[in-house]
Amino acid sequence: MKLNDIRDNEGARSGRMRVGRGIGSGKGKTSGRGQKGQKARSGVAIKGFEGGQMPLHMRLPKRGFNNPFGKDYAEVNIGMIQKFIDEKKLDGKNDITEDALRACGLVRGGKDGVRLLGKGEIKAKAKFIVTGATKGAVAAVENAGGSVEVTAPTNLEVKAAKAEAKEAKAKKKK
């Protein structure tokens, strides 16, 4: 065996088929495209085209609603937080912030922050500083002796700020 003897296994690589090289080649004349028609021509891409009939994806009704103002929260259950505290991946003695949750790999994504959900149970006495939390999650954490600090403004605060801005704008016009 020498370096110049190294070859691929027989049949491992096949050369490309040369089309339009006479009737005896098996791919002569029409080059395997059949007889005439749109698909025999070059530049054809008709995926989903149904011969002029309204395509299926356009016949089906639209469903649902995509809220452009909806918030994108990364959601985390208190049961998973307790599991991470038990495994020493998260320190329950310090404040549990969004940055700490991301650092330990418990939370990903959520451009508008982290929301605490109440699935599971928590035994650790910890202070949470998060963007949002459900009532059940807050109750469970407080029963364990901890606390939850929600940093995001509530809807009432947002509405009040908008109303204030509107009044300022109206005064400015006068």
For 67-80, write each residue's pLDDT tens digit. 999 889 999 999 99
Residues forming a β-bridge with 127 = 147
Q: Residue 36: left (phi > 0), alpha (psi -120 to 50), or beta?
A: left
pLDDT reported for residue 158: 65
108, 130 contact by CB (below 8 A): no
pLDDT reported for residue 133: 92
Rounded to whole angstroms, how far apart are CA atoms 132 and 115? 4
pLDDT reported for residue 135: 93
pLDDT reported for residue 154: 59
Please give the structure tokens belonging to residue 29: 């004349």
124, 84 contact by CB (below 8 A): no
pLDDT reported for residue 48: 85
pLDDT reported for residue 49: 86
Low-confidence ranges of the chain (pLDDT < 70): 152-158
User: Tokens 């029963």 label which residue?
Assistant: 143
34, 40 contact by CB (below 8 A): yes
Rounded to whole angstroms, how far apart are CA atoms 69 and 136? 25
How many helices (H) and strands (E) the chain has is answered by: 5, 6
pLDDT reported for residue 170: 86
Please give the structure tokens belonging to residue 87: 């495994």
Cα–Cα distances (Å) from 53 to 37, 49, 56, in that order, read 18, 8, 9
Rounded to whole angstroms, how far apart are CA atoms 68 and 53? 33
Say whether 132 sits in a helix, a strand or coil.
strand
Q: Residue 113: left (phi > 0), alpha (psi -120 to 50), or beta?
A: left
pLDDT reported for residue 90: 86
Class of domain 74-156 as given by CATH: alpha beta
Rounded to whole angstroms, how far apart are CA atoms 151 and 132? 7
